[in-house]
Structure 1
């Protein structure tokens, strides 16, 4: 569990007030794909007692059909479990008058309910597997349709192509598309229980660390050495969270130490994330009794420059062993650029929280929605890289969240979406 009192004790003496809000887990690239892809399927109306027989007919007609590809979809569904738009399309059952025909006057609502309860709607396959005419012919050759006066009723539905990634998504799809069989897992990202457990562990502290990140970014910005961007690295492997490093953006610091003209992109190696990783490395050398000055590089601006940076850098609160940033968490005022996102990944951070999405330049997020001033979201252009969780392509993965302020306002509005953070 998180320890907000310990977090507060780290920042309140510094005059920093915690931000209030909530965490939203970032979606992986495959999760975004799963939410967007759909295809058309055939649905056959069958008498309830013949559903298994129709299944055998379909298997014989489509021997290459991989039902595992749509195992997230309910195969046989009662009318009452269909989404409202399909109930409207599929009712009444085929043996009752339909279309412009005159309705039989003796068909009551109770009788109609009985008719609907006596049929099932069988999801056959994606339409790409078989032509409508061939499916009709296959069904007509076997019971119960071989002796029926009317041909089988073949309907259509649009369904999600991939399995849902959460119970909430499954419930929504069951209303919007077709009844879903959710298996309490996420095949395209971190398991829901893992996300829930980690969210609960850090939720009460996030506002403190993002406030600290904002403060340290503001100090550097006030010196004219960088943009108003900050970063905090936290060790939460024990019961008490420890701040390992805080850094601000230093892209406008010249080799002589003073501000330089804000032309171009500045020194990209002095982004707040790059500086934080460099300071973690120097602290590990120091606590291992190795000269940290061996890592001094003017390009990275890897020495503390402000009171806040010096305050936390001076603490010997990091173990000397371990690879760089393994098991450490990183909190950033803004979503990091692709370069810094890859630096976070290769440094083996455990978790990452961003205070503001940067859809046009950020490398962590996979979807391209952006927050509006009123707290909602809207579609937007973006890179969509989703670097934080791509295990089939990258050799490390970590959990990542977006932070939404309680008052639905940007904590730092001076940074343009086009800026690389």
Structure 2
């Protein structure tokens, strides 16, 4: 059999369900303008007055920020700064105090205005849910420098900030420009660590296009027999360095338990999806490696025997150990995003990595976000590959973006008849 031409493209790591939530969830927080010297005093007073507030809630946000580091939209909102005491008025050698009058600083870029920008800081206090504005204002009035005679009233701003930490340096930079300066700690609290994803992607990116092309071949061969949709799966073992194809399977939803082709209506035989067939072939090969007749597992409902040339070629290879839990440490490549049932089968079979080319917006179980802003492409958003608090296994997953193709999302056109069933 000739080797199919590898697909050209790139791997895009899937976002987990929690990552998607983190990228969308925001809340309102208080920011005050305060002389740099008094920032810690104000922080301690507010912290003592709001015991329900834990600083861990906003640990991903910069607490004290200079004017020049604020995003442009906030610079426009906060400028000009109020004239406030420096905090060094007890030093006779210090320059004269800035006026404590609340009159705004000049907008002409004068040295006086620039000096005030250098002296003040913008302090992120806490989310607004913890204290009412009036109560906060009264509290600040008791803090220096706002408690001084004739002191300017504290300026309290409402700022929208991300409620959860960023998952990448790119997202942190985006949020810094859009919301508030972000502190990125080079980790991902809502999914696999970025270094883990990068390391695994680097290992498979050079060969992914080849395995996906083979999956395409499997889908075409089974479709030509009118047994299923043009969907294929390839199972690969690369734990020993050199990758080996363990199983190749196409979709057989239109094949009856007796082997005949059924009408292409409804869902067909869901137990004969390509993923289910590939997993069954892996199990039968392990039995064969152990010296047990794999025919013991033959079930006509599952269509778990090879039916095409490409399926037979790889099924007949003795290249898997008898030991090991089913598909543990194996990779699975798919022409299409697996449905919810097949996603759970992949999870419970203990696959290591999953890579697919085409999103299935109405049935897919792997993705957790929409393919675009179109409501019709919202998808199920299950993100079943990484939900450790709910499921007993997790693995890495990527969508393979083919070169020259835009955003692609589809559903299996189950009502389209196969060529062999057309009557002229």
Tell me the TM-score normalised to structure 1 length: 0.90
In the alignment, which residue of structure 2 is the partner of 1:71?
59
Shift of 1:397: 0.2
SS of structure 1 residue aligned to 2:116: helix
Shift of 1:63: 2.0
Aligned residue among 309, 312, 320 for 1:310: 312
Aligned residue among 145, 152, 157 for 1:150: 152
SS of structure 1 residue aligned to 2:322: coil
Q: Distance in 2 between matches of 1:255 and 1:418?
A: 20
Q: Distance in 1 between matches of 2:193 and 2:106?
A: 53
SS of structure 1 residue aligned to 2:6: coil
Deviations 1:280-306 (A, max 9, x none): 000000011111001000111000000
Mark the CA change 1:119 to 1:104 in structure 2 (over 3 Å): closer, same or farther.
closer
Give unpaired runs (5+ residues) of structure 1: 1-12, 371-376
In the alignment, which residue of structure 1 is the partner of 2:327?
325
Instruction: Assess if the C-alpha contact under 8 Å between 2:18 and 2:190 holds in 1.
Output: yes
Shift of 1:71: 0.5
Mark the CA change 1:40 to 1:166 in structure 2 (over 3 Å): closer, same or farther.
same
Runs of 4 or more above 4 Å deviation: 101-105, 409-414, 416-419
SS of structure 1 residue aligned to 2:256: coil
Shift of 1:415: 3.5
Mark the CA change 1:78 to 1:321 in structure 2 (over 3 Å): closer, same or farther.
same
In the alignment, which residue of structure 2 is the partner of 1:204?
206
Instruction: Assess if the C-alpha contact under 8 Å between 1:243 and 1:312 holds in 2.
Output: yes
Shift of 1:111: 3.1
Give the root-mean-square deviation of aligned CA atoms. 2.1
In the alignment, which residue of structure 2 is the partner of 1:42?
30
Q: Distance in 2 between matches of 1:109 and 1:326?
A: 68
Q: Distance in 1 between matches of 2:412 and 2:39?
A: 60
Mapped pair 1:86 → 2:49: no
Give unpaired runs (5+ residues) of structure 2: 85-98, 417-424
Shift of 1:156: 1.1
Shift of 1:246: 0.4
Q: Distance in 2 between matches of 1:418 and 1:125?
A: 56
Shift of 1:61: 1.6
Q: Distance in 1 between matches of 2:211 and 2:273?
A: 18
Q: How many residue pairs are counted as aligned between the two chains?
A: 397
Deviations 1:200-247 (A, max 9, x none): 000001000010001110000011000000000000101210000000
Q: Distance in 2 between matches of 1:414 and 1:348?
A: 26
Shift of 1:64: 2.1
Q: Distance in 2 between matches of 1:74 and 1:259?
A: 63
Instruction: Assess if the C-alpha contact under 8 Å between 1:356 and 1:410 holds in 2.
Output: no
Deviations 1:25-78 (A, max 9, x none): 000000000000000000000001111111111112212211111100111111
Deviations 1:138-167 (A, max 9, x none): 010121110153210001100000011111
Instruction: Assess if the C-alpha contact under 8 Å between 2:358 and 2:410 holds in 1.
Output: no
- Equivalence map 1:162-241=2 (5 Å): 162-241=164-243
Q: Distance in 2 between matches of 1:224 and 1:126?
A: 60
Tell me the TM-score normalised to structure 2 length: 0.90
In the alignment, which residue of structure 1 is the partner of 2:402?
405
Mapped pair 1:415 → 2:412: yes
In the alignment, which residue of structure 2 is the partner of 1:132?
133
Aligned residue among 374, 389, 393 for 2:390: 393
Q: Distance in 2 between matches of 1:50 and 1:102?
A: 20
Which has the higher Rg, Structure 1 or Structure 2?
2
In the alignment, which residue of structure 2 is the partner of 1:335?
337
In the alignment, which residue of structure 2 is the partner of 1:355?
357
Q: Distance in 2 between matches of 1:351 and 1:119?
A: 51
Instruction: Assess if the C-alpha contact under 8 Å between 1:32 and 1:367 holds in 2.
Output: yes
- Which stretch shows the higher mean deviation, 108-117 or 388-397? 108-117
Q: Distance in 1 between matches of 2:224 and 2:357?
A: 20
Deviations 1:298-329 (A, max 9, x none): 11100000000000000000011000000000
